[in-house]
Amino acid sequence: MPDDMARPLIRDRGEAGGSRHLEASMSDSPVIGIMGTGDFSRSLARRLVSSGYQVVVGSRNPKRSEDLFPEEVEVTSQVEAASQAALMFVAVFPEHHSTLLELKPSLAGKTLVDVSNGLRINHDGPSNAEQLADMFPDSDVVKGFNTISAWALQRGPRDASRQIFLCSNSSKAKSSVMQLCRRMGFVPVDMGLLSSSLEIENLPLSLFPSWRIPILCTLFLFILFYLYNFLRDVLQPYVTAGKSVFYKMPIETVNVTLPSVALVMLALVYLPGLCAAFFQLWSGTKYNRFPNWLDRWLTCRKQFGLCSFLCAALHAIYSLSLPMRKSTRFKLLLAVRQMKEGDEVWVEEEVWRMELYVSAGIMALGLLSLLAVTSLPSVANSVNWREFTFIQSTVGYCALSMATVHTLLFGWGRAFDPAQYHFLLPPTFVLVLVLPCVALLGRLALCVPCVALRLQQIRRGWEKTRHLRFRLPEDNCRNTLDDVSNV
């Protein structure tokens, strides 16, 4: 690190008092204070120093804590730190905020940044920041930096989320903290008044809030299809013929269940966009709000797609492990014996079916992998909007089509074979194909020129209740349909 950037402050380790003193400083670098000496305080101090700030840390025991911080940081008493810095990070646990009350005169008129989090989600309030504001009414409290970890502060915005959520009742104090965020390399997000601090404090404590519905849906579908396959393929032979095939449960039954869940989840990615398009066609305007269930569904499409990719990848791994099973090797030995006895083992139709549906499955997994990779923020930020929508929509429908073809080839003529209806229940692939076929047919319906043109007009502001002449630009008339992800 260059000396002119990494060392804006020079300290002298004096024998007397054991404290650090500033001997030289950059004239244009403001002094930032940190109250507390924990992991977050040390990481924050390092980041502030590397961003060109002078940093002073207030500690109840400066002599013991001074070796934990970089050379450029001054570690002193809490009273002295409060008197030096105009902006102070309060990096102590919220239950210890009351111990700072003796600093109230020194902190009057200054900006306090509360970085604390609670132990559990708080729905009733008040927030830690609001309580701190009540303790220090003469100071301007800003809530922020609580959604970022100490590791992220050390590594900088390259290896972490760039967004930092901020809120305060003082616009001046909030602006100064926003400027500090930008200088540190992060992106400040203004969340409004201090009343939003409760929402900001609950963010780090929420366990995958946007993943809850997709994960529950995946688990539900897996249990449903697994029990259905167990009933047809394991329990039915045991009940009707006394044949024990319970060995299929750990691998074979799971391997039949996983692609079923993957295809249904992939169809659930594109069905909400179709529902939104038909809702706009039915209402004749884009200004009507979607139902709440549709709004929530639309916001979970990325998570549905990644769950589908997980099931598809696991299906591929399970399929590769099938030949290694002892039961499979035993069946191969029986086939070899039948060949020696003169029985016909090679069936041309079955060979073609196997080759085609395996090839379609590999193509579907490849396209699904492309969708999963593109959904990563680092990759999505490197492509423009048209490229992103092309992959997520056009390539996505190609993946859904290929996965549907894979399932159809697997079924071949089995759907019309009465022997496949164990316990009078249809084969699993028959049930699985319902939603993907609905999604693909819905997409084809929206590609009909008259429907596509009307949908374009609606999305450009046309309303059927207003008798206005509306004409699309000539360039847009050549397009058949805007991507459903723009809904």
CA dist., res. 58 & res. 95, Å (int): 18
Q: Distance of CA 180 to CAs 39, 106, 136, 165, 186, Å? A: 20, 22, 22, 13, 9
The residue whose two tokens read 């591929």 is: 316
Which residue in 63, 12, 68 sits closest to 45, CA to CA?
Answer: 68
Query: What does the pLDDT read at residue 324?
Result: 76
Query: What does the pLDDT read at residue 349?
Result: 81
The model's pTM: 0.73
CA dist., res. 214 & res. 368, Å (int): 17
Query: Are residues 458 and 312 part of one domain?
Result: yes
Query: Are residues 217 and 178 part of one domain?
Result: no
Helices 396-411 and 348-374: crossing angle in degrees, nearest 10, is: 160
The length of the chain is: 487
Q: Is the Cα dihedral 87, 90, 96, 97 positive or negative? A: positive
Q: Which of 176, 205, 234 is at the close of a domain?
A: 205
Query: Are residues 258 and 152 part of one domain?
Result: no
Do residues 166 and 178 make contact, with C-beta atoms less than 8 angstroms apart? Answer: yes
Tens-binned pLDDT, residue by residue, of the chain (487 aa): 333 333 333 334 333 333 344 344 444 678 999 999 999 999 999 999 999 999 999 999 999 888 999 999 999 999 999 999 999 999 999 999 999 999 999 999 999 999 999 889 998 889 999 999 999 999 999 999 999 888 878 776 554 467 899 999 999 999 999 999 999 989 999 999 999 999 999 998 888 888 999 999 999 999 999 999 999 999 999 999 999 999 899 999 999 999 999 999 999 999 999 999 999 999 999 999 999 999 999 999 999 999 999 999 999 999 988 877 766 667 677 666 666 665 666 678 888 888 999 999 999 999 999 999 998 877 887 889 999 999 999 999 999 999 999 999 999 888 888 888 988 899 999 999 999 999 999 999 999 999 999 999 999 888 888 755 556 565 444 443 344 334 3
Query: What does the pLDDT read at residue 472?
Result: 58
Query: Are residues 151 and 130 part of one domain?
Result: yes
Q: Which of 181, 205, 229 is at the close of a domain?
A: 205
Query: Are residues 194 and 219 part of one domain?
Result: no
Query: Are residues 408 and 358 part of one domain?
Result: yes
Query: Are residues 321 and 177 part of one domain?
Result: no
Q: Which of 157, 174, 205 is at the close of a domain?
A: 205
Residue range(s) defining the domain that contains residue 419: 212-486
Strand 163-168 and strand 187-190: the pairing is: parallel
Query: Are residues 140 and 262 part of one domain?
Result: no
Single-letter residue type at 290: F
CA dist., res. 338 & res. 217, Å (int): 45
Query: Are residues 157 and 276 part of one domain?
Result: no
Phi/psi for 240 (5° steps) reads: -85, -35
| Residue 46's CATH number | 3.40.50.720
Which residue in 252, 424, 247, 231 sits closest to 322, CA to CA?
Answer: 252
Strand 31-35 and strand 10-13: the pairing is: unpaired
Query: Are residues 9 and 128 part of one domain?
Result: yes
Query: Are residues 250 and 116 part of one domain?
Result: no
Single-letter residue type at 302: K
Structural domain total, the chain = 2
Query: Are residues 234 and 178 part of one domain?
Result: no
CA dist., res. 141 & res. 131, Å (int): 10
CA atoms within 13 A on the CB side of 112: 32
Query: What does the pLDDT read at residue 379?
Result: 86
Query: What does the pLDDT read at residue 209?
Result: 82
